[in-house]
């Protein structure tokens, strides 16, 4: 894949940090760059988009802050992953695991996620975050 050839030598597998960045980076970039109405059409139910999720200035700026902060987090994780020693890499993988598993839990149990996010987007986010979380936990524990 293009992302792995740009960031890692071809003989290295995709790390948990890179998997996290690739899976989440697009979401953060869309939050930062796309009009909020367009992202709501992609991710949210019509009922939410026309009701509680209706675009407003507070939500708009919060959306942008989340995007900018998320991009920094993804970039930092990938850069750290490339330069860390084995013990610190285990700690980074632990942080990636915790973040991914928390994200999966929020998508699975939060009422806003249950009611307002399109079911396919919710399922994809749960599955992706569980997979990355499990992989990162495995690497953090050295298994």
Q: Which residue has the tokens 């003989």?
A: 11
Is residue 21 packed enough to be buried (19+ CB in 10 Å), middle (13-18) or exposed (0-12)? buried
For 107-120, the pLDDT digits (tens) are 999 998 899 889 99
Q: What is the pTM of this model?
A: 0.82
pLDDT for residue 4 is more than 60: no
Q: Percentage helix, strand, coil, to 5, in the chain?
A: 80, 0, 15
Nearest to 130 by CA among 8, 27, 19: 19
For 52-104, the pLDDT digits (tens) are 766 677 777 888 899 999 999 999 999 999 999 999 999 999 999 999 999 99
């Amino acid at each position: 894949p293009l992302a792995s050839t740009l960031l890692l030598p071809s003989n290295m597998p995709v790390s948990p940090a890179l998997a996290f960045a690739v899976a989440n980076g697009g979401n953060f970039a869309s939050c930062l760059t796309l009009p909020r109405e367009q992202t709501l059409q992609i991710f949210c139910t019509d009922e939410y988009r026309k009701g509680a999720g209706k675009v407003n200035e507070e939500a708009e700026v919060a959306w942008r802050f989340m995007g900018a902060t998320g991009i920094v987090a993804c970039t930092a994780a990938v850069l750290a992953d490339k330069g860390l020693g084995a013990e610190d890499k285990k700690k980074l993988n632990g942080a990636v695991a915790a973040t991914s598993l928390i994200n999966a839990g929020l998508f699975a149990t939060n009422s806003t996620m249950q009611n307002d996010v399109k079911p396919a987007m919710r399922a994809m986010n749960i599955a992706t975050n569980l997979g990355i979380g499990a992989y990162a936990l495995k690497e953090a524990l050295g298994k």
